[in-house]
Amino acid sequence: MFLPSFARRRFALALCVTLSAIASPSFATILVESRGTAGVTPHGLTTTFAGTSTIDFNNGLAAGFSGGAIENGTIKGKWTTPFGDTTNYFAVGNATTTMATLNLGGAKDYFGLYWGTLDSFNKLEFWSHGALVASFTGSDIWNPVTGSRYVDFVFGDGQSFDTVRFLSAGNSFEFDNVAFGRLNNTGPDTGVPEPASLALLGAALFGLGVARQRRR
Ligand SMILES: [Ca+2]
Ligand SMILES: [Ca+2]
C-alpha cells in the first residue's frame, strides 16, 4: 500500500495510541485517548493531566464560552446527563443552539472533556488564529458510539489551538469538566501573531515605506 509520507507517519502514530487509536481527519499530529466511566459519581470523570485548568460549570458559565446552555439532569429527547454526573454540565444541540464556542485567549496544546453520550453527529473543532486545525466526531472517538468517556487531545509537533467549537445538529452534545493547558509551552499564549505572520507584517510595512519614499 503506497501512502504519502505524512499519511504513513500519521498511520504509525495512530498505532501507538493505546486506549483508542485515531488518525485526525485534519492536519495536526494529535494524540487522542479516552477512558470509560466506572465509579465516577457525582462529578463524572475529570482530567488526569497536571498543570491544566478545568471548567466544571457548577457555578455557571465560564469566561470565553458562547452558545449552548448549562443543564442539570436528563430531559428525554433533549439532553442526557453524562454518566454518573449529578452536577451541572453543558449541552449543545438544536434544543439550545447548534454551536458553542470556547475562546481560550491564547495558544494551548492540551484539551480534555467528559463527553457524555457520544453521538456520531457531535463534532469538536480546534481552531488557531481563525483557521481550522483539526476536527473529531463522536464516532472518531469511540465506534460504535456509546456511553460517556473522558477524552484527552494532546497536540504534538509544536501545533496548538486557541479556540474550540462544539457542534451538534441534533440533541445533544453534552459535556462536563472541560480542561485545557500548555503541556509543552507550545506557541505564544497571548493571541499575538506568530513569527511568520510578524515577518509578513514587517514585509508589508517595509513595502509601504518604499512606496511612500517613491512618492516623494
Ligand atoms: Ca459539572
Ligand atoms: Ca449526546
Work out the average pLDDT over 77-97.
94
Q: Are 124 and 144 part of one and the same domain?
A: yes
Ligand closest in space to the Cα of 121? 2
What's the CA gap between 15 and 29, in Å, rounded? 13
- Using the predicted structure, report yes or no on whether residue 172 has a pLDDT greater than 90: yes
Q: How many CA atoms lie within 13 A of 173 on its CB side?
A: 27
CATH number at residue 86: 2.60.120
Taking all residues of the chain, what is their mean pLDDT, rounded to a whole number?
A: 80
Report the separation in Å between the CA atom of 51 and the middle of ligand 2, taken as the mean of its atom positions.
Answer: 29
What's the CA gap between 110 and 186, in Å, rounded? 10
The model's pTM is 0.75
- Cell triple for residue 5? 509520507
Q: Are 167 and 196 part of one and the same domain?
A: no
Report the separation in Å between the CA atom of 188 and the middle of ligand 2, taken as the mean of its atom positions.
Answer: 34
Report the separation in Å between the CA atom of 133 and the middle of ligand 2, taken as the mean of its atom positions.
Answer: 23
Report the separation in Å between the CA atom of 119 and the middle of ligand 2, taken as the mean of its atom positions.
Answer: 5
Report the separation in Å between the CA atom of 193 and the middle of ligand 1, taken as the mean of its atom positions.
Answer: 34
Domain that holds residue 142: 5-185
Q: Are 63 and 25 part of one and the same domain?
A: yes
Report the separation in Å between the CA atom of 59 and the middle of ligand 2, taken as the mean of its atom positions.
Answer: 22
Task: Tally the domains of the chain.
Answer: 2
What's the CA gap between 18 and 21, in Å, rounded? 7
| DSSP-derived 3-state class of residue 179 | strand
Ramachandran category for residue 17: left, alpha or beta (phi over 0 → left; psi -120 to 50 → alpha): beta
Q: Are 129 and 149 part of one and the same domain?
A: yes
Q: Are 9 and 104 part of one and the same domain?
A: yes
Query: Poorest-confidence range of 17-21, 29-33, 82-86, 148-152?
Result: 17-21
Q: Are 110 and 167 part of one and the same domain?
A: yes
What's the CA gap between 107 and 187, in Å, rounded? 6
Q: Are 199 and 116 part of one and the same domain?
A: no
Q: Are 174 and 197 part of one and the same domain?
A: no
What's the CA gap between 98 and 68, in Å, rounded? 7
Report the separation in Å between the CA atom of 200 and the middle of ligand 1, taken as the mean of its atom positions.
Answer: 43
